[in-house]
């Protein structure tokens, strides 16, 4: 007589159950939005203004519809978030005292990351409630800084670019 592997039989029955009674959706997802990040710049007497910037997200999703209005879902998403900040502070003379001139810089950053949300959902007629976790992996970030300083009455302008690949 052959020995039956009970866990394997249960897994096959559950898999058969999902294939016969469950339905699934596969698709492409894209959305846009607005983002604003606040970065702590610890400058004395600095005036900071943060701008709202566009953000984008796109990828693929998979939803498995289970019995009793439940569902299981996973997504693979590419996300881009932008930030722009203007900082202005008093220019200092050679002895370190504030002058009537203003130094300033504009900082613009872009973050790129890959997100993998996994969730379980429940369908209330036409309303879906999802609860789950999301893992984010940072792909890269770019920062551009345009700076303007006063030095002995002369205006000095710099542009710095920083690229960080993960």
pTM over 0.95: no
- What would the pLDDT profile of 116-156 be if each residue is shown by its tens digit? 999 999 998 889 899 999 999 999 988 888 887 777 667 77
Please give the average per-residue pLDDT across 23-29, as a whole number: 89
Cα distance between residue 7 and residue 15, in whole Å:
12
Phi, psi of 125 (to 5 degrees): 55, -100
- What would the pLDDT profile of 56-74 be if each residue is shown by its tens digit? 999 999 999 888 889 999 9
Which of 14-23, 32-41, 90-99 is predicted with the least confidence, judged by mean pLDDT?
14-23
Residues 6+ away with beta carbon under 8 Å from 144: 107, 108, 109, 159, 160, 161, 162
Residue 15 has a CB neighbour count (10 Å cut-off) of 10
Asked if residue 42 lies in contact with residue 74, where contact means CB atoms within 8 angstroms, the answer is no
- What would the pLDDT profile of 95-104 be if each residue is shown by its tens digit? 777 777 778 8
Residues 6+ away with beta carbon under 8 Å from 112: 78, 79, 80, 138, 139, 140, 141
């Amino acid at each position: 007589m052959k020995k039956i592997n009970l866990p394997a039989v249960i897994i096959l029955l559950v898999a058969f159950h999902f294939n016969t009674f469950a339905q699934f959706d596969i698709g492409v997802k894209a959305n846009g939005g607005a983002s604003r990040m606040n970065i702590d710049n610890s400058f004395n007497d600095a005036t900071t203004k943060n701008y709202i910037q566009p953000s984008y997200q796109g990828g693929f999703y998979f939803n498995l519809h289970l019995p009793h209005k439940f569902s299981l879902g996973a997504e693979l998403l590419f996300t881009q978030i932008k930030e722009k900040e203007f900082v202005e502070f008093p220019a200092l003379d050679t002895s370190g005292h504030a002058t009537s001139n203003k130094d300033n810089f504009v900082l613009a950053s872009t973050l790129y990351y890959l997100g993998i949300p996994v969730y379980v959902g429940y369908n209330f007629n036409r309303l879906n409630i999802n609860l789950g976790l999301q893992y984010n992996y940072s792909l890269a970030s770019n920062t551009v800084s345009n700076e303007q300083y006063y030095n002995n009455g002369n205006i000095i302008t710099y542009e710095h670019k920083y690229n960080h690949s993960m």
